[in-house]
């Protein structure tokens, strides 16, 4: 029985489809060699929001535009294009806010490093800390830096090099203070 045009066409289409289906093999190791970039993050998240709780109570809330997570050599998350952290009181109210243009959270060490236009604001006291770098230690809820610092509040402006504070910025100690401040006689 001779091949008709329809049979030839069907045979050619079938042959082409079989060739396409069985000719491609994706070896995952080969794909990784082509697409893997050393130093690239393991995960990238846009518009990240994290709420850390302890015993059902919010401790802090973090917002970041871009978060890049790395697992090697240690677990680090880098926050690019700005971040904001709200710290909560035991009653669940926001007591202070930390903002910066860049940050890194070292999960294994429990530290958070922020830099570039860093501000820590205590809402109740209406006082603002301004610096270029801060380190927040999760274990003892402390914030510190050895860099130049400005603290603005309704009583005046203080300058110094280095500061240690609680994360709520309710109390603080300058390491090397400078400046002038007016105190009430009370």
> pLDDT value at position 26?
63
Cα distances (angstroms) measured from residue 53 to each of 61, 92, 120: 9, 10, 21
Residues 44, 68 contacting (CB under 8 angstroms):
yes
pLDDT single digits (tens) 116-159? 999 999 999 999 999 999 999 988 889 999 999 999 988 888 89
Q: Is the pLDDT of residue 33 over 80?
A: no
Which has more pLDDT, 146 or 18?
Answer: 146
pLDDT class of 23 with cuts at 50, 70, 90? low
Q: How far apart are CA 66 and CA 126, in angstroms?
A: 29
Q: How far apart are CA 157 and CA 179, in angstroms?
A: 7
Q: Is the pLDDT of residue 3 over 60?
A: no
pLDDT class of 40 with cuts at 50, 70, 90? confident
Average pLDDT over every residue of 90-111:
91
Among the listed residues 105, 173, 99, 92, the one whose alpha carbon sits nearest the alpha carbon of residue 137: 105
Query: Which residues share a beta bridge with 106?
Result: 76, 111
Q: Is the pLDDT of residue 115 over 60?
A: yes
What's the pTM value of the predicted model, to 2 decimals? 0.72
The domains located in the chain, with CATH, are 40-181 (2.60.450.10)
In this prediction, what percent of the chain has a pLDDT beyond 70? 79
> pLDDT value at position 128?
95
Q: Please count the CA atoms within 13 angstroms of the CA of 107 that sit on its side-chain side.
A: 12
Q: Is the pLDDT of residue 100 over 90?
A: yes
Q: How far apart are CA 129 and CA 16, in angstroms?
A: 69
Supply the mean pLDDT for the chain: 84
């Amino acid at each position: 029985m001779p091949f008709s045009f329809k049979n030839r066409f069907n045979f050619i289409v079938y042959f082409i489809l079989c060739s396409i289906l069985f000719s491609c093999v994706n070896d995952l190791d080969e794909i990784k060699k082509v697409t893997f970039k050393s130093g690239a993050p393991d995960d990238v998240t846009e518009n990240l929001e994290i709420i850390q709780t302890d015993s059902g109570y919010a401790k802090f809330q973090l917002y970041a535009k871009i978060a890049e997570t790395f697992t090697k050599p240690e677990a680090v998350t880098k926050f690019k294009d700005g971040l904001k952290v709200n710290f909560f009181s035991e009653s669940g109210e926001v007591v202070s806010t930390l903002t910066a243009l860049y940050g890194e959270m070292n999960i294994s060490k429990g530290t958070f490093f922020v830099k570039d236009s860093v501000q820590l604001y205590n809402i109740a006291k209406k006082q603002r800390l301004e610096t270029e770098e801060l380190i927040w230690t999760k274990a003892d809820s402390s914030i510190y830096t050895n860099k130049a610092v400005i603290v603005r509040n309704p009583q005046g402006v203080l300058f110094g090099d280095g500061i240690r504070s609680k994360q709520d910025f309710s109390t603080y100690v300058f390491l090397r203070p400078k400046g002038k401040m007016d105190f009430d006689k009370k």
